[in-house]
Each structure stands twice: as C-alpha cells, then as structure tokens.
Amino acid sequence: MEDLIEVGEYDSIIEADLAKGKLEAYGIEAILVNKGLAQIYPGGTYAFGGIRLLVKARDAETASEVLLPEES
C-alpha cells in the first residue's frame, strides 16, 4: 500500500470537491477524508481537522503546485 500525503484541508465540501476535481483533471488520484462527516454534521468537521485532501506520496509535490492559488 502506498503512503498518502495531505495536500489540503477544507471547511467546505464544495471547496474540497473543487480541489479534488482539479487534481483529477491533471491525472492525480485524490481522496477526501471526513467528507461524509461534513455531509451529516457540517460543524463536526472542525473537531476532526476539516475535510482532508490526500494524494499518493509520489504525487504530493505536483498536487501542491496544482493547488497553489492563481495570481490575478
């Protein structure tokens, strides 16, 4: 089993899904942890560290670059 690295933490399901979708558009597999909890009890995500976005260790550097905010 390959190690997973956290590349993002979100308070909103929408933000988390958008970030995951962006990574997948670049061919990077990603999973969201605590998304189910956020759907059932939105305030509960704070107690468990938010919705966490994880990728394979080998993709972590690229994923972090993809997720950087775009400059205006």
Q: Which residue has the tokens 């956290």?
A: 6
pLDDT of res. 18: 96
* pTM, two decimal places: 0.83
Q: List, for residues 2-53, the tens digit of each pLDDT value.
A: 899 999 999 888 999 999 999 999 999 999 998 877 667 666 666 667 899 9
Q: What DSSP assignment string belongs to 11-45?
A: S-HHHHHHHHHHHHHTT--EEEESHHHHHH-GGGG
Q: Does 69 or 57 have the greater pLDDT score? A: 57
Describe the strand order of the beta sheet including 30-33 as a list of residue ranges. 4-10, 51-56, 30-33
What tokens appear for 15 in the block?
Answer: 């933000």
Q: Supply φ then ψ for residue 56, to 5 degrees.
A: -65, 145
Q: Give the start-to-end residue ranges of the domains of the chain.
A: 4-66
